Amino acid sequence: MLIRRKKGWEIAERDVTPESVYKNRRQFLKGIAAGSIGAAAISLPIGRALAQGSDPTADLYPAMRNPAYVVDRAITDKSKALTYNNFYEFGSHKFISDAAQAMKIRPWTVKIDGMVEKPIEIDFEDLVRKMPLEERVYRFRCVEAWAMTVPWTGFPMKALVDYAKPLSGAKYIEMQTAEQKDTMPGLRQFWYPWPYIEGLTISEATNELAMIATGIYGESLPKQNGAPLRLVTPWKYGFKNVKSIVRFTFTDKRPVSFWEQLNDGEYGFWANVNPKVPHPRWSQAQERLLTTGEEVPTQLYNGYEEYVADLYKGMEDEKLFM
Ligand SMILES: Nc1nc2c(c(=O)[nH]1)N[C@H]1C(S)=C(S)[C@@H](COP(=O)(O)O)O[C@H]1N2
Ligand SMILES: [Mo]
């Protein structure tokens, strides 16, 4: 049974204090430097853990950049995008990149099931080699009002939908993150409705912007960013972008996502970016750029209105922007 929590003070992703968490982490790292903790692996640079193991998909990167997606913003520093993360399975704060290195990403089986011609399980390696990989630079906007601009490598989600051959009655796709009890300490926080799931309508999933990312900055995805595959929907708030996916389920019922299960007064299914629709506890008018800290105005659909506005024609009664 799902535990439905309505208490915003316990669960909102905004409620952590990154500064204090960061200070604690620095204390911790000082401890390591002083030799009080002999954990050499912890001080490895981010991403090295994967690079050291054999990444059998390394030959796929970098992929050719698709020049159609132009962003009038500087690309966020790689070091920022790889160390300031949300991945609650590894902790409910931003500095989980070290902890995430424990995640096991080989072998990685992806299930495609529900309303499809033939449910299948496929190894990630086989799947990614069937898909048309390219690089795209996209804006990214978290509901907490921070933003980044990153080069993702991946494939249009439409290619996966075509591969899955959904039945005509399927309307939605539910996506689920892995649950690794032995590597994900966050799963012990029982008040969260694990596993992390998210959903899209099939028309959203087949919109040209929707992407399944397998890489970032010209390399395969680091674990903290959702290796080996995660969703990227740049017109929606960041929490839609479910990481480390193990299952795509085609269904005629609208999925109730992780955050919506926790608090449907603050987080909804659609979650489209709109500066004019404030979150119940804060404004969405501005966003803070990760590298510079600069505050800039947020744009409708995060600047992707021309691509996606048609998806929502005639849906004015829906809560499209939360
Ligand atoms: N499984 C899982 N996916 C997740 C999250 C999470 O906690 N668990 N956080 C989401 C949120 S709130 C954001 S903003 C993005 C952050 O992605 P990044 O760390 O690659 O920047 O991941 C999203 N996907
Ligand atoms: Mo987020």
Q: What is the pLDDT of residues 74-130, one digit of tens each?
A: 999 999 999 999 999 999 999 999 999 999 999 999 999 999 999 999 999 999 999
Tokens of 281: 């506890």
How many angstroms is it from 12 CA to the middle of ligand 1? 13
Ligand 1 atom 6: residue of nearest CA = 87
Average pLDDT over residues 216-233: 98
Confidence of residue 13 (pLDDT cuts 50, 70, 90): low
Which residue type, as a one-letter code, is found at position 267? Y
Ligand 1 atom 24: residue of nearest CA = 242
21: burial class by Cβ within 10 Å (0-12, 13-18, 19+)?
Answer: middle
Nearest-atom number in ligand 1 for the CA of 177 is: 1
Ligand nearest to the CA of 244: 1
Confidence of residue 1 (pLDDT cuts 50, 70, 90): very low
For the ranges 7-21, 43-57, 133-147, the lowest mean pLDDT is seen at: 7-21
Tokens of 280: 């119940």
**Residue 110 φ then ψ, to 5°:** -110, 125
Query: Which domains does the chain possess?
Result: 18-54 (no CATH), 65-310 (3.90.420.10)
Ligand 1 atom 16: residue of nearest CA = 86
Binding pocket residue ranges, ligand 1, CB within 6 Å? 13, 85-89, 142, 177, 196, 225-226, 238-239, 241-244
Closest among 73, 18, 22, 78 to 46, alpha carbons compared: 78
pTM for the full predicted model: 0.87
What is the end-to-end Cα distance of the chain in Å, rounded? 25
Q: In this structure, what is the dihedral angle of CA atoms 267, 273, 275, 277, given to the nearest 10 degrees?
A: -40
pLDDT at 15: 52
Nearest-atom number in ligand 1 for the CA of 142 is: 14
Distance CA 40, CA 36 (A): 11
Distance CA 307, CA 242 (A): 21
214, pLDDT greater than 80? yes
pLDDT at 25: 42
229, pLDDT greater than 60? yes
Average pLDDT over residues 227-250: 99
Tokens of 121: 């399980």
* Choice from 243, 257, 258 to test ligand 1 binding pocket (greatest atom count within 8 A of CB): 243
pLDDT at 39: 40
How many angstroms is it from 203 CA to the middle of ligand 2? 23
Average pLDDT over residues 262-287: 97
Nearest-atom number in ligand 1 for the CA of 238 is: 14
Closest among 321, 293, 302, 311 to 72, alpha carbons compared: 302
Condensed to tens digits (0 to 9), the pLDDT of residues 239-270 reads 999 999 999 999 999 999 999 999 999 999 99
49, pLDDT greater than 70? no
Closest among 104, 218, 243, 209 to 153, alpha carbons compared: 218
